[in-house]
């Protein structure tokens, strides 16, 4: 249990570090300096990050604008870009490719700034059955302590933060302060490339784990959640379920779109070519909390199919597969 005097001293130290990582101060700093200042920030707050495990029951969406209604012909064109074409981004350093995805199609389309008249291609993907994806969450302390509710609909995380707060409220306040700083940085609409340094270097720290991801608040849509994973994690742990091409007929604001479907595909060749003319209809349901759920077991396209591929699965995707179990999507973790 920390004392009020220690809390005040720590908070003043945290404020000083945060101010050095904003605006003109940030512009004058190198990546090496920012990386060191972030390390000092996390150490001073004794920051314990919060995490949740995602499995096949969480479907994510990635969107990209298309030049024509034909869309893209290969999944390589709509997943993560090649490293040599990557500039500094919200969760990636220059030359470090990252797969970005969103909680639902609305957030995905909003994140790319789609407007009326645009044609967009969506890809739906999920953690492949049998895998778990531990994800660090930015903004969870802020959400629970400010509103009482989890950013990612997790009762277990709400309970964990409540227990931590009851045991040591001032220490949890320090962690909330740091979490709020990062959540603000991830939500910020940047105007200059250097403004990505804080989030990109923080993401570098999180994505250094060989099998995890980073969940953070949407930039363009209040309440939305985004995901970032490395290409290796995408290739080894994710599968592609379907791809759509839509035309944005009208954009009303606040994530409200009127769209016309153009193409839909659930089958992909092993090399990633999208088989637009061989669509397999698969029954599904949807709710606001868990999103889209398939009514029957469904196997998607994987870049690196498992060597112990169960009988009936095809690497090209789009086939019905034996059930792998529902998974619980609720394994909460704490750590730096």
DSSP 186-206: HH---SSGGGGHHHHHHHHHH
pLDDT of residue 237: 95
The pLDDT, as a whole number, for residue 329 is 52
Helix (H, G, I), strand (E, B) or coil at 143: helix
Token readout for 307 is 């060597």
| Among the listed residues 126, 315, 130, the one whose alpha carbon sits nearest the alpha carbon of residue 238 | 126
Percent of the chain with pLDDT over 70: 88
First and final C-alpha spacing in the chain? 19
Number of domains, the chain: 1
Which phi and psi angles does 60 have, rounded to 5°?
-110, 160
Domain that holds residue 121: 1-336
pLDDT tens track for 60-97: 999 999 999 999 999 999 999 999 989 999 999 999 99
- How far from chain centre, in Å, is Cα 150? 16
186-195 pLDDT per residue, tens: 999 999 999 9
pLDDT of 248: 98
CB 226 within 8 A of CB 107: yes
Query: Does 269 have pLDDT greater than 90?
Result: yes
What are the helix (H) ranges across 124-227? 140-147, 155-167, 169-187, 197-207
Quote the mean pLDDT of the chain: 89
Which sign, positive or negative, has the C-alpha torsion 75, 77, 81, 87? negative
Dihedral angle sign, alpha carbons of residues 32, 206, 80, 306: positive
Q: How many CB atoms lie within 10 A of CB 214?
A: 26
Between CA 141 and CA 137 the distance in angstroms is 9
Residue closest to 110 by CA, chosen among 187, 36, 10, 28: 187
Positive or negative, the CA dihedral 35, 37, 41, 46 is positive
Q: How far apart are CA 93 and CA 196, in angstroms?
A: 9
Q: What is the pTM of this model?
A: 0.89
Provide the 8-state DSSP code for 38. Answer: H
Here the tokens at position 162 are: 């409540």
């Amino acid at each position: 249990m920390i004392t009020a005097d220690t809390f005040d001293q720590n908070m003043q130290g945290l404020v000083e570090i945060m101010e050095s990582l904003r605006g003109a101060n940030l512009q004058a700093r190198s990546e090496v300096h920012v990386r060191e200042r972030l390390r000092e920030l996390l150490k001073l707050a004794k920051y314990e990050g919060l995490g949740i495990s995602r499995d096949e029951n969480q479907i994510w969406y990635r969107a990209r604008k298309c030049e024509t209604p034909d869309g893209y012909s290969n999944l390589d064109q709509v997943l993560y870009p090649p490293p040599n074409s990557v500039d500094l981004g919200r969760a990636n350093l220059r030359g470090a490719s990252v797969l970005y995805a969103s909680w639902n199609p609305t957030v995905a389309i909003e994140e790319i700034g789609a407007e009326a008249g645009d044609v967009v291609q969506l890809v739906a993907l999920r953690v492949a059955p049998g895998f778990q994806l531990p994800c660090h969450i930015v903004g969870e302390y802020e959400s629970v302590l400010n509103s009482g509710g989890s950013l990612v609909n997790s009762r277990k995380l709400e309970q964990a933060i409540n227990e931590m707060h009851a045991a040591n409220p001032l220490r949890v306040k320090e962690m909330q302060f740091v979490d709020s700083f990062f959540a603000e940085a991830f939500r910020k609409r940047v105007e200059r490339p250097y403004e990505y340094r804080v989030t990109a270097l923080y993401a570098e720290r999180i994505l250094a784990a060989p099998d995890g991801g980073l969940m953070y608040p949407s930039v363009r849509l209040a309440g939305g959640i985004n995901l970032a994973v490395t290409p290796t994690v995408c290739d080894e742990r994710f599968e592609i379920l379907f791809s759509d091409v839509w035309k944005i007929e009208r954009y009303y604001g606040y994530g409200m779109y009127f769209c016309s479907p153009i193409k839909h595909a659930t089958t992909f060749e092993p090399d990633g070519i999208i088989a637009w003319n061989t669509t397999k209809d698969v029954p599904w349901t949807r709710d606001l909390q868990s999103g889209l759920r398939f009514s029957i077991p469904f196997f998607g396209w994987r870049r690196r199919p498992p060597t112990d591929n169960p009988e009936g699965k095809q690497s090209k995707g789009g086939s019905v597969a034996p059930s792998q179990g529902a998974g619980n999507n609720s394994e909460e973790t704490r750590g730096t």
